Amino acid sequence: MKSSLIETLEGQFEVPLSRMRRIRGAVTKEMDAGLAGRKSSIAMLPAYCDAASGRERGRYLALDLGGTNFRVMLVELPGSGKPPRVIAEAKYRLTPGQITGSGAVLFGAIAGYLGKFLKDHEITSEIALGYTFSFPVQLLGIDEGILMKWTKDFSASGVVGRKVVAIQRQALAGKKVRCVNIVALANDTVGTLQAQAVLDPDCGMGVILGTGFNIAVRVASRRIRKETGAYRGKSMIINMETGNFNKVLPRNHYDRRVDRDSGNVAHQFAEKMIAGKYLPQLVRLVVRDLIRKERFFEGHVPTVFVERDAFKGWHMDVFEAGSRKAVQELSQDLFGRQLDPAERRMMARVCRMVSRRSARIAASLILGALTRVECRSKKRVTVAVDGSLFEKYPGYSRVLAAAIRELAGPAGKGIRLKLTKDGSGIGAAVIAAVVTESGDMRTAS
């Protein structure tokens, strides 16, 4: 019997156990190459800090830049393994002009918002700040690093290849924001790991499953063959930049289209199959094919599927798992009419095959990465996860956990996935505390 187009597509988006095994194996190999400084699609960037002990104390600022929203937080670390407390927080939305204009505009905007936060909260005496900067950065030490490339459609000019903290400091001076001292620069995955490590000594990994995708791992220093300067700790956290992994992935025609339409062609292949920024784009392309070839939607392309970014992640949530009422309300909004049952089923199937594939590939990468994690316990490891896909997408964390159990077998029992909300920001404060307390890993900048 000839299968329908949707069945063929579901086959193309399936990730069988055999493929998951191959991905896991390839990840381990790429990690080893990255740690040795050899050519690899996984950069394995040293974070110049080890997992926090939980004894970190004090009040710190955190600046969290990783998507169109960026956050400023004032965080209190009580020490003695108690949970950090967010005393104040503000979210600001960056405009497309700020993200894709010049570096001076982007960092100037951030400085301006930070100045406003300090004013609003009457912070006038000097305070240490941890900066979460969630892009591939080659750190020179704990408080400075060079941006290797932009991802997630950021493209501010004049920043790639330059020192990020120096540019930010200059922008702060330009806006007369004086009482802030940037003492640490970290990736959001590293922050997430740290935010959980404060509470849980078994935490060996931080994962972001949100707009972007990436993993950080705690690795024994003896495994790190490339240059790590004056760092002397027994273990170090490594920002893997796993989103760029590009081996044995089951990429199809739609993945190639998403790549071609992206702001960073031929980069971030795993991220483009996994992360929340790209999943709706995949759905959009698949639905457009169904419209063209099977006269789905009566053969007309609704405007929401015309532009690249009009169809959103939260729309997928609703079509995949929303109540009938929620689906009809959204359909009325997006398409100007309600969907018939066959159309509703089709939308749900497309969203499910795309989100499910994301979770199964993410599981394979997480298990690949775990092979090199330095755990405090032989039996257990905690994987700290933050990001909207994991936190909010219906059923995502369940499919991810099931895929991990399927691939890991009995060893999967010791793996605990732990939602670490706001980990990226809180973690930056934790790293700022580690640095302020030890003061020994700074670069001369």
List 58's β-bridge partners, or say none: 77
Rounded to an integer, what distance in angstroms lies between the CA atom of residue 52 and that of residue 423? 13
CA dist., res. 265 & res. 153, Å (int): 11
Quick one: which of 50, 143, 188, 386 contacts ligand BGC (CB under 6 A)? 188
CA distance 362 to 106: 31
Among 62, 64, 117, 152, binds ligand BGC (CB under 6 A): 152
- Identify which of residues 54 and 427 has a Cβ nearer to ligand BGC in the complex: 427
**C-alpha–C-alpha distance, residues 78 and 85, integer Å:** 8
Q: Which is nearer to ligand BGC, 194 or 331 (CB)?
A: 194
For residue 274, give every residue at least 6 positions away whose Cβ sits within 8 Å of its Cβ, in sequence order, or none: 209, 213, 243, 358, 361, 362, 365
Give the Cα separation of 9 and 289 in Å (integer): 10
Minimum separation from the CB atom of position 107 to ligand BGC (A): 17
Q: Does the footprint of ligand BGC cover residue 103 (CB under 6 A)?
A: no
Q: Is 187 among the residues that bind ligand BGC (CB under 6 A)?
A: yes
Say whether 317 is catalytic: no
Q: Which is nearer to ligand BGC, 181 or 388 (CB)?
A: 388
The stretch near ligand BGC (CB under 6 A) out of 182-190, 279-287, 308-316, 371-379 is: 182-190
Q: Which is nearer to ligand BGC, 65 or 367 (CB)?
A: 65
Only segment of 116-124, 132-140, 351-359, 388-396 that touches ligand BGC (CB under 6 A): 132-140
Catalytic, out of 41, 50, 71, 255? 71
Active site residue 188: yes
Distance in angstroms (rounded) separating the CA atoms of residues 143 and 137: 11
Using Cβ positions, the residue closest to ligand BGC within the complex turns out to be 212
E strands, 98-227, are 127-133, 137-141, 144-147, 180-186, 203-209, 213-220
Please name every residue paired with 259 in a beta bridge, in sequence order, or none if there are none.
none
Question: Which of 188, 200, 317, 386 is flagged as catalytic?
Answer: 188
List Cβ neighbours of 325 (8 Å cut-off, separation of 6 or more): none
135 binds ligand BGC (CB under 6 A): yes
Indicate the SS3 state at residue 56.
coil
Residue 289 annotated in active site: no
Segment contacting ligand BGC by CB under 6 A, of 99-107, 109-117, 134-142, 408-416:
134-142
Is residue 151 a contact point for ligand BGC (CB under 6 A)?
Answer: yes
Q: Is 412 within 8 Å of 405 (Cβ atoms)?
A: yes
Residue 212: how many other CB atoms lie within 10 Å: 24
Q: What mask of x and - would describe binding to ligand BGC in positions 227 to 256, judged by CB under 6 A?
A: --------------x-x-------------
Interacting residue ranges for ligand BGC, rule: CB under 6 A: 66, 134-136, 151-152, 187-189, 208, 212-214, 241, 243, 271
Q: Which residues are catalytic?
A: 71, 134, 188
